[in-house]
Structure 1
């Protein structure tokens, strides 16, 4: 499987990343463990989870459930812990973990300790901030985003506080690298600048939504990614399932995300189905599986991406793995560009 740079570490990770957010709700533990075996056998060497998982829906009583399932696999396979990079996240303001408190240095330590216990491991390779304290334009908030309530001095002090604690946790061997999620270009650049100015750990990754239907990353974030060597861990690369075609023509498969979350986190609209149809038609014209096309397209971008996919079942995982190392024909890429111009921001 193709490898991509892991930030500025000099390491690499696989082009596909196994996501776990359905483990414990839609995906039972036995199938989740089967997915771990399959993913590692296929060459995937990065697995992403979070303290707030599972989702669909997020509930206080299930916090940490996905980590616990992964932890049971770790406990049953202790010799394989070094075979993959383990990424997890601390939740932030408004979440259900830690009563929705802000992320601080102290909270970073507290949440990481909880994750380590659930994951049954001594360390995580990548510890990510699930969303910024100051808020984010991700999750369809871009339509009304207003940063005027931010305080730059407080933001920079917060960054130094968190990075200073991360430095201690790295020295203690409890984490190896720090990453971001749902961040902006300005925010990511400030994290990098603070780390460089203060001699603190450098952010290596940012986990933002990115797919054929969600391409806000293509401008300022892309420039930041290249110049600062921050790797994108793209979530929802299949646009929450819209790019598979399974929701076209009014279909709502039993047990699917749409059956549990009808509005799909604000993604569902007539424009989305029209845009998805355009990409599905491109795949059909070129004899491509639409899932494979959507994932392989990410490796054509001018910045490093490891695409986080979720497989509700191991059968879905087997299908997704067919995207590994795929090279898309130039004609299909030209048509994808044309479709993007015709359907630039479907949600």
Structure 2
């Protein structure tokens, strides 16, 4: 395994992070425990979850992932070995079953945090992230920003003051963002710079060979301001494994079970995946190796969040940490990006 530190901290984290959103629907508690055992045994000390998991989110399975992690902590006694990240969900009218108010008000943050701590059977979270902004903006598959009358008033100062209180209580060690854009990153950094409020350490956004939009503005901010990317959906819901190029049916695949996640299923995505697969084959790599090694070599990356439903997939994903892509291979991926730029927003 390779390690780095959470930016502006001395916390060592593996450059591969175990994503857990399948625990509770696609994976049972026993399977989730087995994945966490295997990940830790192979050097992965960084786990990511969220209050709304498992995914797809619904009332019956809300919080199930955190509960599975919590029972693993209790069973294994390995809480201190793990850098744990979780998230508070932002506004969404469909998620009213989570809390009375789906916002980042002081009472809402307190409720979400305390409930997560209870489910996780721990008294602190190492990295607490805002899952998506309160304001309406271009996140979750939206390519460009369109002005919207969302009645949002800038409350970022207040949100950071609330989080600062929980940091001082010891319930949170550090904070991060998720599904945020360049303006949001700079706005949070501004409050740290001018008002001495907690500094965001990371941002968790989608990033893959099929979606490199993070590079357009956010990557420069992260590089210059020392904010680390936690790249999620690096395999584009399994598309970048290449398994859907063969025409075979995959009844247990995420996209088969949950076809509503069609962000990476367009004709452009399929063609780009085919071209990336040709590069992989030409260079003696699997498409999985090419896809994950590409991300792991980015200078603005802190960790790649991988999710798997089987131990075989998990092993393959973790093993990519030992793959280094040549400049020629990276240039070849750039050539595909130039022909079919960011086919999935």
Q: Is TM more than 0.5 here? A: yes
Deviations along 1:295-326, whole A, 9 cap, x unmatched? 11112223133110101112211121210132
Contact 1:139 1:265 in 2 (8 A): no
User: How far does the alpha carbon of each residue in 1:168-192 deviate from its partner, in whole angstroms, 9 at most, with x for none?
Assistant: 1111111101110000111011101
The alpha carbon displacement at 1:265 in A equals: 4.1
Q: Give unpaired runs (5+ residues) of structure 2.
A: none
Counterpart pick for 2:339 among 317, 338, 342:
342
Instruction: Please give the alpha-carbon distance, in whole angstroms, between the structure 2 residues aligned to 1:147 and 1:233.
Output: 27
TM-score by length of 1: 0.94
RMSD: 1.6
Which structure shows the higher helix fraction? 1
Cα separation, partners in 2 of 1:273 and 1:99, compared to 1, 3 Å: farther
Tell me, in whole angstroms, the C-alpha distance in 2 between the residues paired with 1:133 and 1:241: 29
Q: Which residue matches 1:5? A: 5
Deviates more, 1:95-104 or 1:326-335: 95-104
Moved more, 209-218 or 195-204: 195-204
**Structure 2 residue aligned with 1:193:** 190
SS in structure 2 opposite 1:98? coil
Conserved? CA contact 2:175–2:198, under 8 Å: yes
Matches within 5 A, 1:89-104: 89-94=87-92, 96=95, 97-98=98-99, 101-104=102-105
Counterparts of 1:101 and 1:134, CA distance in 2: 12
For 1:198-223, what per-residue CA distance to the aligned partner results, in whole angstroms no more than 9, with x for missing partners? 21111101000000100011121011
> What secondary structure is seen at the aligned counterpart in 1 of 2:285?
coil
The 8 Å contact of residues 235 and 307 in structure 1, kept in 2 or not, is answered as yes
Instruction: State whether residues 51 and 89 of structure 2, in contact with CA within 8 Å, keep that contact through their aligned partners in structure 1.
Output: yes
Question: Structure 1 CA distance, aligned partners of 2:149 and 2:4?
Answer: 37
Q: CA distance change for structure 1 residues 219 and 10 in 2, over 3 Å: closer, same or farther?
A: farther
The residue aligned with 1:122 is: 123
* Rounded Cα–Cα distance in structure 1 between residues aligned with 2:102 and 2:333: 41
Aligned equivalents of 2:303, 2:7: Cα separation in 1? 11
C-alpha separation in 2, matches of 1:256 and 1:285:
27
SS of structure 1 residue aligned to 2:7: coil
Correspondence for 1:204: 201
Cα distance in 2 for partners of 1:307, 1:338 equals 23
Confirm whether residue 85 of structure 1 aligns to residue 87 of structure 2: no
User: 1:198-252, CA deviations, whole angstroms, 9 ceiling, x for partnerless residues?
Assistant: 2111110100000010001112101110111110011000111111011124444
Distance 1:249 1:100 in 2: 46
| Count of residue pairs brought into register by the alignment | 341
Is residue 47–residue 87 contact of structure 1 (8 Å, CA) maintained in 2? yes
Aligned to 2:51: 51
Which residue matches 1:20? 20
Deviation of residue 195 (structure 1)? Answer: 2.1
Task: Tell me the secondary structure at the aligned position of residue 121 of structure 1.
Answer: coil
Mark the runs of 5 or more structure 1 residues left unpaired by the alignment.
none
CA distance in 1, matches of 2:20, 2:241: 19
Q: Residues 116 and 122 of structure 1 are in contact (CA less than 8 Å); yes or no, is this contact kept in structure 2?
A: yes
CA deviation vs aligned residue, 1:127-175 (integer Å, no higher than 9, x gap): 10000000332222225x31343678x22xx211111111111111111
The CA deviation string for residues 83-138 of structure 1, in whole angstroms up to 9 with x for no partner, is 11000000111152326622223211110100000000010000100000003322
Higher mean alpha-carbon deviation, 132-141 vs 213-222, is at 132-141
